[in-house]
Amino acid sequence: MSAPEPFVPIDTQVAILSDVHGNARALRAVLDELGKRGVTRIYALGDHLVGGDAPLESWRLLMDARAKLVRGLGDTALASLVPEKLAPKNDRERERAARFVQTRKEVGELVLRHLLALPYALRVPLADGRELLLSHGSPADPTVEITVDLDDEEMMSLVAADPADIVATSGGHVPFVRDLGDVRVVGVGSVGDSPEKDHAHYALITPRYDGTVIEQAHVEIPAEGGR
């Protein structure tokens, strides 16, 4: 399911972020930085709430920022799995199941229904005539992630059939940019669960009539108790 944006080519800078995972502290740090930069058009590529200790606050921050959202596998699982059918086999799985159940209770049924209504992808026309595709997973299959460890042939097999010129995905939490012929693949990394743990990733895309500019960026996440 891929939803088009209203067909008005974008000529202003946009921010793309992903995988907040209920980490409101990390998300707030990114949104504060975007505010300083004057960036108001924000897209978030899924896995918004599962895993962190502040899912409802994270949701409210995304809503307050008027972010346009797509759905990740974590969002589908959170909204559709029946907690009673979870069968954790060890302490780690029991801890994750307990957090899963708590997250469902905290955000409530209205937010869960909203998550299920989100599209798996958005298509955005850019001022230079290119098309930007925003998806948590690959254009070919939203359940398959495009990650930096794939070689060019493997990555091309996941994007080649799609008409978009730029494909932005979560990238398996690791930021990267890969040029595959006429297609540019952008892994935007993770806000709330980055490999560095103290960094929150995002990407900036600046459409220009002489070519679109892509900038990978991150902010440091404040320590507990700080903003």
Confirm whether 4 is domain-assigned: no
41 occurs within a structural domain? yes
User: Is residue 225 a part of any domain in this protein?
Assistant: no
Residue 198's pLDDT is 93
The candidate with the shortest Cα–Cα distance to 103, out of 69, 53, 64, 48, is: 53
Q: Residue 3 falls within a domain, yes or no?
A: no
* Nearby residues of 203 by Cβ (< 8 Å), 6 or more positions away: 15, 16, 17, 168, 175, 186, 188, 189, 214, 215, 216, 217
For the chain, the residue count is 227
Q: Three-state SS across 68-100?
A: EECCCHHHHHHHHCCHHHCCCCCHHHHHHHHHH
pLDDT by residue (tens digit) across 89-125? Answer: 788 878 878 888 899 999 999 999 999 999 999 999 9
Q: How many domains does the chain have?
A: 1
Residue 184 domain flag:
yes
Q: Does residue 110 lie within any of the structural domains?
A: yes
DSSP code at position 201: E
On whether residue 140 sits in a domain, the answer given is yes
CB-count exposure of residue 112 (10 Å: 0-12, 13-18, 19+) = middle
| Within-domain flag for 227 | no
> Whole domain around residue 98: which residue ranges?
10-219
Residue 5 banded pLDDT, cuts 50, 70, 90: low
Per residue in 189-211, pLDDT (tens digit) is 999 999 999 999 999 999 888 87
CATH number of 72's domain: 3.60.21.10
Pairing of strands 213-220, 199-206: antiparallel
pLDDT at 74 over 60: yes
Q: Which residues pair with 121 in a beta bridge?
A: 2, 135
